[in-house]
Amino acid sequence: MSEDTEDTKFDKVTEVYESLANPLENALEIIETVATASQFIPLLREIAEFAGGLLELYQNAKYNRRICGVLMIRIQSALASIKSLEIYANEFPESTDFFTPKNNALLRNFQLVMKKIEEFIKKIQNIKNYRLFFQANSIKQEFEELTKEFDDYMTSLNFKMIIDMKQQSKRDLESINKDTNDMKMHLQSISESVNFSKEQINQIAKNKSNESELLQKISISVQNIENFTRIKNAYDKPEKQALIREEIITSVCLNVDDFTVDDETPIRGKVRKWYYKPFGEHEVALKELESNKNKPERFELQVGILKTINESRDIIQYIGLVTMNSMQYLVTEWAEYGTLREYYEKKNPDITIRSRLALEIARGLNYLEAYKIYHHDVRSENILVDYLEHAKITNFELSRGFSEAIKSKSIDISMENVRYMAPEKIKDRSKVRYNSKCEVFSFGMLLWELAEQKLPFSDTGLTVLAISQLIIDNTINLKFSSPDVPEKWKSLVYDGKLILIFDIYFIILHYVNFIYSFSYSS
Q: Are residues 95 and 128 in the same domain?
A: yes
Q: Are residues 183 and 226 in the same domain?
A: no
* Residue-range definition of the domain harbouring residue 52: 6-191
Q: Are residues 12 and 155 in the same domain?
A: yes
CA angle 485/487/492 to nearest 5° reads: 95
Q: Are residues 80 and 108 in the same domain?
A: yes
Highest mean pLDDT among 105-114, 323-332, 404-413, 481-490: 105-114
Is residue 246 in a domain? yes
pTM for the model: 0.79
The partner residues of 268 in beta bridges, in order of sequence, read: 271
Give residue 499's pLDDT.
Answer: 41
User: Of 191, 215, 232, which one is at a domain's C-terminal end?
Assistant: 191
Q: What is the DSSP string of 330-388?
A: EEEE--TT-BHHHHHHHH---HHHHHHHHHHHHHHHHHHHHTT---S--SGGGEEE-TT
Q: Which amino acid is at 438?
A: C
Q: Which amino acid is at 252?
A: V
Tens of pLDDT, residues 281-295 = 789 999 888 765 555
Q: Are residues 381 and 511 in the same domain?
A: yes
Q: Are residues 157 and 286 in the same domain?
A: no
CATH number of the structural domain spanning residue 409: 1.10.510.10
User: Of 172, 191, 210, which one is at a domain's C-terminal end?
Assistant: 191
Give Dmax (Cα) for the chain.
140
d(CA 353, CA 360): 11
Residue range 223-238: average pLDDT? Answer: 81
User: Of 305, 334, 363, which one is at a domain's C-terminal end?
Assistant: 334
d(CA 90, CA 8): 46
Give residue 408's pLDDT.
Answer: 42
CATH number of the structural domain spanning residue 213: 3.30.200.20
Highest mean pLDDT among 80-89, 178-187, 200-209, 428-437: 80-89
Please compute, for residue 215, the number of CA atoms within 13 A of its CA located in the half-sphere on the CB side: 13
Q: Are residues 344 and 330 in the same domain?
A: no
Question: Mean pLDDT lowest for which of 40-54, 224-238, 473-487?
Answer: 224-238
Give residue 21's pLDDT.
Answer: 46
C-beta neighbour count of 515 within 10 angstroms: 23
Nearest to 126 by CA among 53, 229, 217, 50: 229
Q: Are residues 186 and 273 in the same domain?
A: no
Is residue 288 in a domain? yes
Q: Is there a contact between 393 and 439 (Cβ–Cβ < 8 Å)?
A: no
Q: Are residues 51 and 166 in the same domain?
A: yes
Q: Are residues 319 and 349 in the same domain?
A: no
Residues 6+ apart with CB under 8 A from 487: none
Is residue 18 in a domain? yes
Q: Are residues 29 and 170 in the same domain?
A: yes
Is residue 131 in a domain? yes
CA angle 374/479/445 to nearest 5° reads: 5
* 3 state SS of 36: helix
* 3 state SS of 33: helix
Number of domains in the chain: 3
Q: Which residue has the higher pLDDT, 48 or 501?
A: 48
The end-to-end CA distance of the chain, in Å, is 118
Is residue 1 in a domain? no
The partner residues of 117 in beta bridges, in order of sequence, read: none
d(CA 177, CA 184): 11
* 3 state SS of 272: strand
Is residue 222 in a domain? yes
Q: Which helix (H) or strand (E) holds 392?
A: strand 391-393
Q: Are residues 215 and 353 in the same domain?
A: no
